[in-house]
């Protein structure tokens, strides 16, 4: 079982304030050592999806270089449109916070700006996660053209109420090879590596239809989904250290083989590892709870048979070798 720990590594700001262009800081990056040391102690591989704002500041860029020098660490690329040149200040609306909603030329320029800055600092990213899980034709065309092997943006069976949010409700947990229509003999594969967010019962597609039906009818008011979760009939579980309670994550880990999951992909935002930046970490005790859940998860992971830590690019290479 391949197991990846992924971190959306980005500037800090008050999430409740929307999508600021100038009011941000990189203090949370300077405090990543506690989390990274924990991963190293348990032999976990880490993939830090890192954005332009982090590389634009010498202090935080130095932190990323230091992390990259340790074992089993990958520095992937991440992108927040509202803070990435060019035209960073033109539109910080919710709709424009998803890269694929921008004009294709502008989105490509923002991707190129981030990629170029990473290359100038000695990084050669081969994996990507869109800010706010945004990906699509424009993004993947750029990734294919620049030798990326993994796009880890898709959050299966999910969407959000925000205007312009991606809709992955009918996208499942299986990785998919993305082909370049202009290349007949594509030698290097770009793989979509979805996060691990699935149902506690198979078939996932049937439970997905059931949940969607309930969510889009007056039955929602009867809190049927909550009842189904509490009674153990079925629930959606996300390997997200911020939002998912420990017990469901542990259950999913123990049942991953039975559920025929392709791998386990955990996620967290770097800002959730510091106090005061987002709704998951307003108070010190919330941060401590996150770290407690992380360590308890790691303790369980290392007991698994056939356990194998992997970066996101390593998972992609593994899939490509067996395609």
* Distance between CA atoms of residues 256 and 276, nearest Å: 34
* Distance between CA atoms of residues 102 and 268, nearest Å: 25
State mean pLDDT over 278-307: 95
Which of 172, 176, 115 lies closest to 146 in space, CA to CA? 115
State mean pLDDT over 297-322: 95
pLDDT, position 226: 82
pLDDT, tens digit (0-9, with 9 covering 90-100), for 19-58: 877 788 999 999 999 999 999 999 999 999 999 999 999 9
Question: Alpha helix locations (H) across 101-222?
Answer: 104-120, 137-145, 204-215
* Distance between CA atoms of residues 76 and 170, nearest Å: 26
* Distance between CA atoms of residues 130 and 111, nearest Å: 10
Cα separation values, 102 from 17, 178, 281, Å = 21, 21, 30
SS3 236: strand
User: The pTM is what?
Assistant: 0.95
* Distance between CA atoms of residues 311 and 304, nearest Å: 18
Half-sphere exposure of 11 (CA within 13 A, CB side): 23
pLDDT, tens digit (0-9, with 9 covering 90-100), for 220-276: 656 788 888 888 889 999 999 999 999 999 999 999 999 999 999 999 999 999 998
Tokens found for residue 52: 């332009």
pLDDT, position 182: 67
Helix 33-41 vs helix 284-301: crossing angle, to nearest 10: 20
Mean of pLDDT over the chain:
94
* 187 pLDDT tier (thresholds 50, 70, 90): low
Which of 104, 33, 23 lies closest to 66 in space, CA to CA? 33
Does residue 184 register a pLDDT over 60?
Answer: no
Match 């409700």 to its residue by tokens.
Answer: 169
- Which one-letter DSSP state was computed for residue 71? T
Does residue 147 register a pLDDT over 70?
Answer: yes
């Amino acid at each position: 079982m391949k197991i990846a720990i992924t971190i959306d590594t980005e500037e800090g700001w008050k999430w409740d304030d929307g999508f600021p262009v100038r009011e941000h800081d990189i203090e949370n990056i300077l405090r990543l050592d506690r989390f990274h040391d924990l991963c190293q102690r348990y032999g976990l591989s880490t993939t830090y999806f890192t954005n332009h704002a982090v590389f634009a500041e010498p202090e935080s860029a130095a932190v990323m270089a230091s992390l990259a020098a340790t074992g089993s660490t990958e520095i992937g690329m991440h992108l927040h449109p509202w803070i990435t040149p060019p035209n960073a200040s033109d539109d910080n609306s919710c709709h424009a916070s998803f890269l694929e909603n921008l004009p294709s030329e502008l989105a490509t320029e923002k991707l190129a700006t981030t990629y170029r800055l990473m290359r100038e600092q000695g990084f050669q990213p081969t994996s990507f996660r869109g800010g706010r899980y945004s990906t699509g034709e424009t993004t993947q065309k750029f990734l294919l053209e620049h030798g990326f092997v993994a796009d880890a943006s898709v959050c299966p069976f999910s969407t959000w109420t925000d205007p312009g949010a991606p809709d992955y409700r009918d996208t499942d947990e299986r990785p998919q090879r993305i082909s370049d229509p202009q290349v007949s003999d594509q030698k290097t594969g770009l793989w979509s590596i979805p996060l691990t967010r699935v149902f506690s019962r198979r078939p996932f597609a049937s439970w997905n239809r059931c949940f969607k039906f309930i969510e889009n009818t007056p039955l929602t008011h009867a809190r049927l989904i909550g009842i189904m979760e509490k009674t153990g009939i079925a629930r959606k579980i996300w390997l997200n250290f911020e939002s998912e309670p420990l017990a469901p994550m542990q259950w999913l880990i123990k049942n991953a083989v039975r559920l025929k999951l392709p791998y386990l992909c955990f996620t967290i935002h770097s800002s959730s590892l510091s106090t005061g930046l987002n709704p998951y970490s307003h108070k010190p005790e919330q941060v401590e709870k996150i770290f407690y859940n992380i360590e308890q998860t790691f303790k369980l992971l290392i007991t698994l048979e056939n356990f194998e830590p992997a970066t996101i690019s390593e998972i992609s290479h593994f899939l490509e070798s067996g395609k």
